Chain A
Amino acid sequence: MILLAIETTCDETGAAVLEGPTFPDAGPLAVPRILSSVVSSQIGLHQRFGGVVPEIASRAHVRQVVPMIDEALKQAGLGLKDVGAIAVATRPGLVGALVVGLTAAKALALALDVPLVAVDHLEGHLYACQLAHPDRQVYPCVGLVVSGGHSSLYACNGPVDCELLGGTIDDAAGEAFDKVASLLGLGYPGGPEIERAAKAGNPKAFAFPRSFLRDPRLAFSFSGLKTAVLYALRGQNEERGAVEPSPELTADLAASFQEAVVDVLVAKTLQALDRTGLARLGVGGGVAANGRFREKLGAAMAKKGIETFIPPLALCTDNAAMAGVALLKLAAGQTADLDVDVTAGLVRPAQRA
C-alpha cells in the first residue's frame, strides 16, 4: 500500500510518500517506511514579519502543494497511479492553510478513486517517534508536543489513541521563544536564535519564574515568564541608561529564559510519567530541536530509566511523513468522507474522535 501524505497545518507545505506494511500480515509494530518526505520551508517569506503570517501561508500553500506532491512522488520513484490512499492533517491549525491541503487531498482521492484519511497533526507529531524507530516499541507512552502552537502532554495507549493530559493555559513554549526573541531584538524563528544567544550567557543570571513547577496540575504557563523577561530587560536598560541590551545582557536573559522553559518542560513530563505510570516518552514539535532541552530531558529520563524517543529534526518540525499514522486508521477502516471539514482551533478532549 502506497500512501501519499499532505501537510499544510501552518507554515510548512509538506508531502510524503510512505509504503505501508501489508495487513493483517504486518509485524507487531506495523511501521510504514518513508520513501520520500519534502517540505517547502517558508521561513524566508515569514522572516520579514517576525512571525508566521497566515494569509501569506495560505497563498504559499496554494502555490506549493502540487509541486511538493510531484517532488515527493519523483523522489520515491513512483507516480500517482501507484498511490493507494491519501492522508491529510485536518486539525488543528490555521483554517486558510488547512483547507488548502484538504482540498488537494480530496481532489486526488476523488480523481484516483482511493480512500481519504484525515489525521490529527498532534498524533502525527508523536507517531514520528515510531517512524524514526521502526524496530522499537514506542507505545504506550507519554507524549509531549512542544512547538510554536502547542505545549501538550498526552497519555498515548496507541498511535491513534492519545488522551490529552494537559496543555498550556496561555502561550505555547515555541510562541514564548518567538515573543522573547522579539523582545530581545533577535530574529525569527525565536528558538534557534535564543539558543544561539544563550550559549554565551549564564542560565542563573536571572531567577525567572517556573510556573506550575510544584503544582499538581499538568498544565503549562509561559506568559508570566515572558513578562518577567520584559521587566528584567527594561530594568537593566534603565540602570545602564540604554535602550538596547548589551550582547552580554542579551545572552544572560536568553540563557536564563531558556533554562526556565526547559526546567518546566522536564518537570511536567516527569509528573506526567509518574501520574500515568508509563515507562516510555515520545517527544514531537520544533522545540524538541533545542539542544539544552534535549540535554536536560535526556539526563532526567536516564535517571528515571524512562525510554525516550525524539525523532531527528526533519521529523520533529512540521512534515508530511508523520501523517503516515493514517495507515493504521486505514487498516481500522477509519476513512474520511469527501465532505470532511477542517478543525482549526483547540479541540477539547471530550470532542477528540
Chain B
Amino acid sequence: MNVQPLEDALQVEVAGEAETEALGRAIATLLAPDVVVGLVGPLGAGKTRLSRAIAEALGVDPTAIASPTFVLIHEYEGVIPVYHFDVYRLPSPAAFEDLGAADYWAAGGVCLVEWADRVPDSLPPDAWWITMAPVDESRRTIRIAAPADVRNRLAEALAPKEAP
C-alpha cells in the first residue's frame, strides 16, 4: 500500500481487496459519531467493498451489510450506528433531500454515502470525501479528503510497521 500525503488529501494506492479492507479498518478507527463520509467512483470502483470494511470494523454484523442501491438507506447496528446510503438511482439532490437524509447527519452514527458526488451540496460542509479511481481490475487510487489531523493519523496507521 503506497501512502502519499497531498496538500489537501491523503492518497493511497491499494492493490487488491485485502488492502482495501485494511484501509477500511484504519479509516474506521478514526470515525466518530456524526461523521459523514462521501464515497465517489464509477461502477465497480469498490465503494460498497470499502463501506463494508468500515462497517465491519465498527462491529456491524457482516451478514447485515449489502448494497443499498435498491432501498437507498440501510441502517446497521455497530459499536456506533452506521447509516449506509446510495444515491445511484436518485435523479436530483432535491430527491435525496426529500428522503430526509439530513436527519441522519447528526443522529449519532457514521454516515457512508455512495455516489455522493451526485449530491455534493447536500452533504454537510465538514464531510469527509473518499474518491476511488480504478487503475486496473484490482488496483485503486483512493484519495481521502478529511481534516488534517485525521489525515495525519491515518497516514501513521497505514505506515509499514518496522520489523522488531
| A contacts, CB < 8 Å to B | 10, 49, 51-56, 92-96, 148-150, 166-172, 175, 179, 182-183, 219, 223, 226-228, 230-231, 344-346, 348-349
Contact = CB atoms under 8 A, between A and B. Distances in A.
Contact of B66 (A54, A95, A182, A346): A346
Contacts of A96: 98-99
A-B CB proximity, top 10 nearest: A149-B70, A55-B95, A227-B44, A51-B89, A345-B74, A231-B137, A230-B44, A171-B67, A170-B48, A348-B64
Most chain B CB neighbours (cut-off 10 Å) among A96, A231, A346 = A346
Interface in B72-107: 72-75, 77, 88-91, 94-95, 98-100
A49 B118 CA distance: 14
Contacts of B70: 10, 52, 148-150, 172, 175
B53 to A, nearest CB: 12
Contacts of A344: 71-73, 75
B98 A55 contact: yes
Contacts of A349: 63
A172 B69 CA distance: 9
B71 A169 contact: no
Contacts of A95: 72-73, 99-100
A172 B98 CA distance: 25
Contacts of A230: 43-44
A348 B71 contact: no
A54 B52 contact: no
Contacts of A175: 67, 69-70
A53 B89 contact: yes
7 contacts: A49-B91, A166-B63, A175-B67, A182-B43, A231-B137, A345-B74, A346-B64
Given A49-B89, A55-B91, A227 B66 contact: no
Given A49-B91, A169-B65, A175-B67, A346 B74 contact: yes
A155 to B, nearest CB: 15
B147 interface: no
Contact of B71 (A55, A56, A149): A149
Most chain B CB neighbours (cut-off 10 Å) among A93, A150, A219, A344 = A344
B68 interface: yes
A92 B71 contact: yes
